[in-house]
Structure 1
Amino acid sequence: MSHFIAAFRVEIYKLRRSLVPWLTLLFVMAVVSQEAGQADWHSYLSGAVYRFTILGSIGFGFLTSWLFGREYAERTIKDLLALPVSRLNIVLAKYATVCLACTLITIIVFVYALGLGAVVGLPGFSGDILWQALGMFASTAVFNMLLCTPVAFIACWSRGWLAPIGFVFLTLILALSLGPSPVGPYVPWAIPALQTLYFSSGGTAAEILNMMSYIVLCVAGAAGFAGTLAWWRYTDQR
């Protein structure tokens, strides 16, 4: 545990010294701000959640690409492996850093969205809308963090951060293309956006998704994590 904590502190230090998390935060806040002209709180928060789901995934993916790919781009991978810390702890520390950064970004964006709506003076605010929006922001953030694991694997496999960013945009196009189709509920990258539709329409998530949808999402996340760990453990060191 002490080795993991040491590696985690190092990753946090790298993140604090970089502009990447701040740029990601500003990007997500900017896209959410575009919904401020809606007629009421429900329309505003529905649009904010949808933009956070779609474009926030780009921000999360960019952050993951940088955190896992920078070691190769800056040629510090050998120095990192020379440390007396297991590769498992290094991968876990990087994933923990991604989750912490994405969680903080989600909290800040949600508070910012509420503040912006209050400043604009939108009508129709209620406790139910608040809690539903909070649940949607939280679940969307968790789903997008799960889908960051394949991005991390692509970053390690390609030994850089450009390929995983391309992968993020490719999966976004895939989600937007296949989301409205019958196979949409079984495409991992389309599931977060489909879930937000029930908040916008006032229905339930069960009308759009089913248990298999969430299983597919979890499998994609687990496969990305396992692939990243296997790459660090076996392939990358040959």
Structure 2
Amino acid sequence: MNTMSAAIGFEWLKLRRARLTWVATVVLGLAVPLLSTGLLAAARSDSTSQLAVKARTMATETGWSGQFTVAGQFLSVAVLVVVGVVACWIFGREFTDRTVAGLLSLPTTRIQFAVAKFTVLSAWATVTCALAAVTIVVAGLVTETGALRAHDWAVLGKLFLAALLTIILTAPLALASSLWRGYLAGIGILFGLLVVTQLATAAGLGGWFPYAAPGLWLGLGGTDAAAAITLPQLLLPLPIGLGAAVATLLWWNGNGPTENR
């Protein structure tokens, strides 16, 4: 086994054994889709409760499209929070636990460890989002009648694409956790981004703010806001995420961990 494969195996072993990973997988892959299904059921009921009224403002479509749209609005936030926290943990754990010296004792370069961390994070996040999509479909089969139409599959694909764009946006959190040598710094920036996203959206600038655009595209700001999202706005996460990923790799390769500081 070469050193790159060994690094990936090592990072996967840490991720698989971490309690955080299992909690994150259950929350993102099962709990959030089921919660959105419950909210949609409330929207379709005759209830006049505050929850039902709020749910009806989110469920602007009927049938499967409504199922996927409501779930997408939940996932647009949940993916950033859950995957973001895991990204901070993956890149900051050794610094916080003061075990980074153990990495340096292995016959693997620092940049290989960084690549392995991104590889494992991306694979886990993608599979977990796929699990969320499956959960949404299964939950819909329980509550819906009729077969999935081509339009419905297109909406589900839109949801999954937005989730992938959001996964890419967690790369700056990996960079922050590396630069400040600990996952708490990255988590702090994550919650700061959530606040700034709300402010940018409220100011009408959400379409040009990378962390807001995928959610708005899924209908988080209403149907008019979703229709106003353009392709350049939707693709903004790519240069942000890829640029942060490259910066993280360069940091690990050049100014990365050499000692416990």
Q: Does 2:12 correspond to 1:12?
A: yes
Q: State the 1:215 CA deviation.
A: 4.9
Q: Distance in 2 between matches of 1:127 and 1:4?
A: 43
Is the contact made by 1:41 and 1:124 (CA closer than 8 Å) also made in structure 2?
A: no
Q: State the 1:21 CA deviation.
A: 1.8
Is the contact made by 2:84 and 2:173 (CA closer than 8 Å) also made in structure 1?
A: yes
CA deviation profile, 1:30-86 (whole Å, cap 9, x unmatched):
222222214333222211011011122101101111111111122121110222212
Match of 1:170 in 2: 192
Q: Distance in 2 between matches of 1:169 and 1:204?
A: 23
1:192–1:236 CA distance, 2 compared to 1 (3 A): same
Q: Does 2:44 correspond to 1:43?
A: no
**Greater Rg over alpha carbons, structure:** 2
Q: State the 1:136 CA deviation.
A: 2.1
Match of 1:87 in 2: 110
Is the contact made by 1:175 and 1:189 (CA closer than 8 Å) also made in structure 2?
A: yes
Match of 2:252 in 1: 232
Choose the corresponding residue for 1:191, options 213, 231, 234. Answer: 213
Mapping 1:1-238, distance limit 5 Å: 2-28=2-28, 29-36=30-37, 37=41, 38-39=43-44, 40-119=63-142, 121-123=143-145, 126-197=148-219, 201=223, 207-237=227-257
Query: What SS does the aligned partner of 2:193 have?
Result: helix
Is the contact made by 2:214 and 2:234 (CA closer than 8 Å) also made in structure 1?
A: no
1:237–1:80 CA distance, 2 compared to 1 (3 A): closer
Is the contact made by 1:61 and 1:148 (CA closer than 8 Å) also made in structure 2?
A: yes
Is the contact made by 2:21 and 2:86 (CA closer than 8 Å) also made in structure 1?
A: yes
1:237–1:35 CA distance, 2 compared to 1 (3 A): closer
In percent, how many aligned pairs have the same letter?
Answer: 25
Is the contact made by 1:106 and 1:137 (CA closer than 8 Å) also made in structure 2?
A: no
Is the contact made by 1:49 and 1:133 (CA closer than 8 Å) also made in structure 2?
A: no
Is the contact made by 2:11 and 2:117 (CA closer than 8 Å) also made in structure 1?
A: yes
TM (norm. structure 2) is: 0.81
Is the contact made by 2:210 and 2:233 (CA closer than 8 Å) also made in structure 1?
A: yes
Paired AA for residue 66 in structure 1:
W
Q: Distance in 1 between matches of 2:130 and 2:231?
A: 27
Unpaired stretches in structure 2, ≥5 consecutive residues: 45-62
Paired AA for residue 32 in structure 2:
V
